[in-house]
Amino acid sequence: MNAFLAIIGRDLRLATRRGGEAALTLGFFVVAITLFPFGVGPEPELLGRIAAGIIWVTALLAATVSFDRLFRADMEDGTLELLALAPLPLELAVLAKAIAHWLLTGLAVTLLAPVMGLMLNLPEAAYGPLVAGLLLGTPALSLLGGIGAALVLGARRGGALVGLLVLPLFLPVLIFGISAVEATLIGLPLAPHLLILGALLAVALPVGVFGSAAALRLALE
Amino acid sequence: MTAATQPAGLVADHLRCERGGRLLFADLCFAVAPGGALLLTGPNGAGKTSLMRVLSGLLPARAGRILWQGRDTVEEPGPWRRALAWLGHDNAIKPQLSVAENLAFWSRLGASGHSVPEALEETGIGHLADLPAAMLSAGQRRRLALARLALTRGGCWLMDEPTVTLDSASLARLGTMIARHRADGGIAVIASHDALDLPGAQALDLGALDTARA
């Protein structure tokens, strides 16, 4: 447990020391969302109707931007070899890194989402389901994204490749994240959608952890 | 000599390794008892690093087994992982963290036996503890990587070219450090081009296996 927390703590500390890294993801999230009112026109009606979709899709893209760095620095300086040889199973090391990644990106995006909703004239009733959906959905993104990040370690420029690999995996999360908002807006119960998002997270946990660890072992051979 | 009669220490049993379709070594056997050392030599490309990676478990062997205290390191990786301290080509140093923070992380990750200040003292970088690792010279970075091994007591050190970028004073210190480790009952497997003072060490010349390759 101590080793597990040490990895989370180290990743958070590294991110704050490097400064820009976490801010980069959030900056991307905010700037990309800001572009939409310019692109589709400033009518509050129209923006309000597509606001949840904009926020969700941008959250996926922002997460994708951050994955390339998830394992790359550790791979390049030899830390990954040591993590693979440590008494702590590599799967748990991967989980610790995914948690740190989520705290730095997913959680931050979730907390920023209501502010972005305000800017896009998101209907009042949609705030709750949007945030609840992001809270359940973004950890799944961090877990699944790890697979892509680990798979492209051998490629010199993996950034765009990660996106191609993981964005299709994100599709179910996006569908049920949006349907949670839509259902609330037309008066249907919210719970089933959140339960499905929870189920997706429960699937992403083993798939992401074991998939990433297997890909990392291959990269280290 | 079978593994059953040789339970203690590190035993390689008919190891075979191929890289990129090229056979590096086959039927490689050796045994290192507690307190012992094995020095791997051979020209570039002879397979020193590959053998180290096979021993560590990073690279699966094509055939053969590696036994630690009589247990197969692939079937039962737990005891081997706890005993193993790996020094690769890369130093695994985070430039954003201080020297002491870098070591403290590895200490929390399972390298225990000696405290962080003790390990820093042993490698002679105690006065740099609070400096960001980004400020270190190449030799100091290597010493910080060695300090990570100095955290452990006993166990098995796998050191791939530990002497790279070290000055002569640090070389002497490395010799003392390895001697201390062996006196504690530890094992050191070292791949190096430099002449290290390792009293009673076994030597394995991977270049000399060349003839068996054809």
Tokens of B162: 């530990």
Report pLDDT digits (tens) over B115-169.
999 999 999 999 999 999 999 999 999 999 999 999 998 899 999 999 988 998 9
Tokens of B208: 């000399």
Quick one: pLDDT band at residue B213, thresholds 50, 70, 90?
A: very low
For A:7-46, CB contacts with B below 8 A are: 7, 10, 13-14, 17-18
SS3 of B39, please? strand
Report pLDDT digits (tens) over A8-51.
999 999 988 887 777 888 999 999 999 999 999 889 999 999 99
Pairing, β B84-87 against β B187-191: unpaired
CB contact under 8 A, A85 and B89: no
Q: Searching chain A, which residue's CA lies closest to the CA of residue B79?
A: A87
- Euclidean distance between CA atoms B32 and B21, whole angstroms: 29
> Which residues, other chains included, contact A62 with Cβ-Cβ below 8 Å and sequence gap of 6+?
A25, A26, A28, A29, A32, A105, A109
> Across chain B, what does the average pLDDT equal?
88
User: How many beta-carbon pairs under 8 angstroms link A with B?
Assistant: 67
Query: Does the pLDDT of residue B3 top 60, yes or no?
Result: no
Q: In this prediction, does ipTM exceed 0.90?
A: no
CB contact under 8 A, A78 and B108: no
Report pLDDT digits (tens) over B30-43.
999 999 999 998 88
pLDDT along chain A (221 residues), means of 10: 92 86 88 94 91 95 88 92 93 96 93 95 94 96 94 79 89 95 93 96 97 94 86
Angle of CA points B78, B58, B18, to nearest 5°: 130
Instruction: Spell out the domain ranges in chain A.
Output: 2-220
Please give the share of chain B, as a percent, with pLDDT higher than 70.
94
Q: Searching chain B, which residue's CA lies closest to the CA of residue A73?
A: B94
Query: Distance, in angstroms, between B58 CA and closest chain A CA?
Result: 6
CB contact under 8 A, A10 and B91: no
CB neighbour class for B200 (10 Å; exposed up to 12, middle 13-18, buried from 19): exposed
Q: CB under 8 Å, gap of 24 or more: what pairs does A185-191 form?
A: A185/A123, A185/A125, A185/A126, A190/A128, A190/A129, A190/A132
DSSP character string of A154-173: GSSS-HHHHHHHHHHHHHHH
- Euclidean distance between CA atoms B13 and B28, whole angstroms: 7
SS3 of B22, please? strand
Quick one: pLDDT band at residue B214, thresholds 50, 70, 90?
A: very low
Report pLDDT digits (tens) over B42-73.
888 888 999 999 999 999 999 999 999 989 99
Query: Does the pLDDT of residue B211 top 70, yes or no?
Result: no
Please give the share of chain B, as a percent, with pLDDT higher than 90.
56
DSSP E strands in A113-185: the ranges are none
**CA proximity to B86, closest of B111, B108, B121:** B111
pLDDT given at position B179 = 93
Query: Distance, in angstroms, between A119 CA and closest chain B CA?
Result: 36
CB contact under 8 A, B86 and A7: no
Query: Distance, in angstroms, between A171 CA and closest chain B CA?
Result: 34
Tokens of A6: 């040490």
The strands making up B37-41's β-sheet, listed across from edge to edge, are B84-87, B156-160, B187-191, B37-41, B202-205
pLDDT given at position B194 = 78
Query: Distance, in angstroms, between B124 CA and closest chain A CA?
Result: 22
Dihedral of CA B88/B120/B135/B137: which sign?
negative
What structural domains and CATH numbers belong to chain B? 3-213 (3.40.50.300)
Higher pLDDT, B16 or B195: B16
CB contact under 8 A, B89 and A78: yes
